[in-house]
């Protein structure tokens, strides 16, 4: 008997084919295991040899046939380079580097433990590395520290998709409510108006469920917000994708009463992502955000729209795999590239190979992360030209 997770994933592929609409809400009951943070022993092992998934997703996407293949450059490439990588990227980064060195025997890459993108980012700032594979956006302090040191920002090129809901492997983000909440979807502007104090996306403050069209007994209830204490990779991603508009960085609501005529929503900050789904499942007035790998309680996973007039997109496996879910995540390769002199030719060719059809095939064969789609490859290619 297939698991509920397998049936949900299969439905996301079959429904469009037979002409039936996909549901905006695709998770109503617990389908994921309850995870906990790594023990010290597990963390030490990840730093030493990399991290490996507990299990793989049942379905895997096909490679985008429109991806551009890699062509060997006529330039003579040589040199010794030292990189770092997040623990979840230790294996795939070694595969990419090994294949590149096979094609260019005069190039030598070194990438050693400890495998931690945060440590690598600091070493990039110090000038001790030429590149860092990181499975998230750089911390704001990493970026500001780099700019203080060099006078320009680090170059961060998306080289791969995150996972669908692999625990610990850059799973897609979702917004969740109590399962009995009638709301099915929210726009980014509405989410910004609920979660932020800055409301950079232009909306009015939203503090009650009736403000987003919910009727009945819930309409007059204050919205209770559940989030993750900054700084955290999950909250930074949501902050950048949803709360930051017009070049202005969003700030989270504090939960304090900032307007005597309208009560500010209650905000519960969790130190980690692990409890958010459970807490939302226990609070009929709740909304929160979490990774799809952490939906281990009976909550409603909302569809979202990036604009007020839609379309509404559901966080199905198909939409995440095709990079159509706007809260899908990506992996970055970060380098120190002086805009006056341009990118080092070896680093440029390495990234061209990684985002090529051949490089993404290596990623697909690993069975964890999702390969880039053609429009993502095009966007990254422009950063390398």
Same domain for 199 and 315? yes
Which residues are paired to 83 by β-bridges? 111, 131
Q: Residue 297 has which token pair?
A: 């309680």
Whether residues 257 and 379 share a domain: the answer is no
Which CATH number covers residue 204?
Answer: 3.40.190.10
Task: Clarify whether residues 345 and 308 are in a common domain.
Answer: no
Expressed as residue numbers, the domain containing 83 is 78-167+329-384
Does residue 66 lie in a domain region? no
| Helix and strand counts by DSSP (H, E) for the chain | 12, 12
CA distance 303 to 324: 12
Are 27 and 8 in contact by the 8 Å Cβ rule? The answer is yes
Q: What is the pTM of this model?
A: 0.90
Do 228 and 273 contact (CB within 8 A), yes or no? yes
Last residue of a domain, one of 321, 349, 373: 321
Same domain, 356 and 274: no
Q: Answer yes or no: do 243 and 300 share one domain.
A: yes
Region class of 197: left (phi > 0), else alpha (psi between -120 and 50), else beta:
alpha
Task: Please state the domain count of the chain.
Answer: 2
In a domain, 62, yes or no: no
For the chain, 385 residues long, give each residue's pLDDT as a single digit of tens. 444 444 444 444 444 444 444 455 555 456 799 999 999 999 999 999 999 998 888 888 999 999 999 999 999 999 999 999 999 999 999 999 999 999 999 999 999 999 999 999 999 999 999 999 999 999 999 999 999 999 999 999 999 999 999 999 999 999 999 999 999 999 999 999 999 999 999 999 999 999 999 999 999 999 999 999 999 999 999 999 999 999 999 999 987 644 544 556 788 999 999 999 999 999 999 999 999 999 999 999 999 999 999 899 999 999 999 999 999 999 999 999 999 999 999 999 999 999 999 999 999 999 999 999 999 999 999 999 8
Identify whether 101 is preceded by a cis peptide bond (ω within 30 of 0): no
294 in the same domain as 192: yes
List, in sequence order, the alpha helices (H) in the chain: 4-17, 40-49, 90-103, 117-126, 140-150, 188-195, 233-238, 276-281, 317-321, 345-354, 357-366, 374-384
């Amino acid at each position: 008997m297939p698991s509920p997770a397998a049936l949900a994933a299969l439905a996301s592929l079959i429904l469009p084919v037979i002409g039936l609409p996909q549901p905006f809400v695709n998770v109503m009951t617990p389908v994921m295991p309850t995870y906990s943070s790594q023990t010290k022993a597990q963390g030490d092992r990840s730093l030493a040899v990399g991290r490996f998934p507990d299990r793989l997703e049942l379905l895997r996407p096909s490679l985008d046939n429109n991806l551009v293949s890699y062509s060997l450059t006529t330039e003579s490439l040589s040199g010794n380079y030292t990189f770092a990588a997040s623990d979840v990227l230790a294996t795939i980064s070694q595969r990419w580097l090994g294949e590149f060195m096979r094609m260019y025997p005069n190039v030598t890459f070194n990438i050693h433990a400890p495998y931690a993108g945060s440590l690598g980012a600091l070493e990039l700032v110090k000038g001790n590395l030429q590149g860092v594979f990181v499975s998230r956006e750089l911390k704001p302090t990493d970026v500001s520290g780099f700019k203080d040191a060099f006078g320009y920002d680090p170059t961060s090129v998306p080289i791969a998709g995150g996972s669908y809901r692999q625990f610990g492997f850059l799973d897609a983000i979702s917004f969740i409510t109590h399962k009995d909440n009638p709301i099915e979807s929210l726009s980014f502007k509405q989410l910004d108006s609920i979660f932020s104090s800055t409301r950079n996306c232009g909306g009015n403050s939203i503090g009650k469920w009736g403000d987003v069209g919910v009727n009945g007994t819930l309409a007059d209830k204050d919205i209770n917000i559940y989030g993750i204490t900054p700084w955290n990779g999950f909250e930074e991603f949501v902050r950048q994708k949803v709360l930051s508009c017009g070049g202005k960085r969003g700030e989270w609501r504090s939960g304090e009463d900032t307007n005597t005529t309208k009560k500010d929503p209650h905000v519960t900050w969790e130190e980690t992502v692990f409890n958010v789904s459970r807490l939302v499942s226990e609070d009929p007035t709740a909304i929160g955000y979490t990774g799809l790998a952490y939906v281990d309680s009976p909550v409603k996973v909302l569809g979202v729209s990036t604009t007020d007039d839609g379309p509404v997109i559901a966080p199905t496996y198909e939409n995440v795999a095709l990079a159509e879910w706007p809260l899908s995540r990506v992996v970055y390769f970060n380098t120190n590239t002086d805009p006056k002199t341009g990118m080092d030719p070896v680093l440029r060719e390495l990234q061209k190979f990684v985002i090529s059809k051949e490089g993404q095939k290596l990623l697909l064969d690993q069975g964890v992360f999702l390969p880039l789609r053609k429009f993502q490859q095009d966007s990254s290619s422009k950063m390398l030209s």
